[in-house]
Amino acid sequence: MTCDGEETNLGACSHNPWGDHDCSASSECIALFCDGEVEPNTAPLVHGSTGMINVLYNGEIKSICDDGFSQVNAETACNELYGNPSVVDFRIAQLCDYGDEFWLDDVNCGEVMGKLTQCDHTAFGTHNCQNGECIYLECTAQPDNSEEEV
């Protein structure tokens, strides 16, 4: 594999076809340790457009706390995940996917944003939440391409 530094991902570097190699599995592996933080993203809902809403940050998925979670927050999450801010339903879940582990608390979107993490919130990992305070979300999965009638 050869990269010139302008690539945005490793797949863009020149390399043999995928799976075509002469490497030994035990002695020619590499590990990458990168400086800086990876931009957080809302993790995909586990059942298509329905499920617990979580955040992937620094390689770990954790929950989002329900404290102050609003309709606009839900619309932002659906917009980020599906390109459509249309929310079918959101509510407090009785059991969280990641127990007492939360990335976000006190999320406050003043308007629909492109990403949930662009909204105001406490510092990542700082929360006063417990299992049973996460968000179950159901979005309309299809982008809204309809035109309004005049």
The pLDDT of residue 145: 46
Of the two residues 83 and 40, the one the predictor is more confident about is: 83
What is the structure's pLDDT at 146?
45
Q: Where are the domains of the chain?
A: 39-139
* Run of H or E residues at 135: strand 134-139
pLDDT score of 62 more than 80: yes
- Number of residues assigned to the chain: 150
How much is the mean pLDDT over the chain? 79
Q: What is the pLDDT of residue 149?
A: 41
Least confident of 12-21, 26-35, 91-100: 26-35
Which distant-in-sequence residues (6+ apart) come within 8 Å of 41 by Cβ? 55, 56, 57, 80, 115, 117
**3-state DSSP helix/strand/coil % of the chain, to nearest 5:** 10, 25, 65
Question: Tokens 């190699």 appear where?
Answer: 21
pTM of the model: 0.66
Q: Return the higher-pLDDT residue of 139 and 37.
A: 139
Structure confidence by residue, pLDDT tens digits, 81-114: 888 778 888 888 888 888 889 999 999 999 999 8
pLDDT of 26 strictly over 70: no
**CA-closest candidate to residue 85, choices 141, 20, 10, 7:** 141
| Topology classification of domain 39-139 | Mac-2 Binding Protein (3.10.250)
Q: What is the pLDDT of residues 106-144, one digit of tens each?
A: 999 999 998 899 999 999 999 999 999 999 988 876 544
